[in-house]
A and B are shown apart, each in its own frame.
Chain A
Amino acid sequence: SQQGEEDPQALSIQEGENATMNCSYKTSINNLQWYRQNSGRGLVHLILIRSNEREKHSGRLRVTLDTSKKSSSLLITASRAADTASYFCATDRNAGNMLTFGGGTRLMVKP
Chain B
Amino acid sequence: NAGVTQTPKFQVLKTGQSMTLQCAQDMNHEYMSWYRQDPGMGLRLIHYSVGAGITDQGEVPNGYNVSRSTTEDFPLRLLSAAPSQTSVYFCASRGRGNQPQHFGDGTRLSIL
Contact = CB atoms under 8 A, between A and B. Distances in A.
Interface residues of A, number: 27
B81 to A, nearest CB: 22
Nearest to B90: A42
Contacts of A43: 43, 90, 92, 101, 103
Contacts of A97: 31-33, 48-50, 94
A88 B41 CA distance: 10
Interface of B is mostly: strand
A41 B45 CA distance: 18
Interface in B70-112: 90, 92, 94, 97-106
A106 to B, nearest CB: 9
Contacts of A31: 98
Contacts of A95: 97-98
Given A33-B100, A48-B100, A103-B42, A98 B58 contact: yes
Given A42-B103, A48-B100, A101 B43 contact: yes
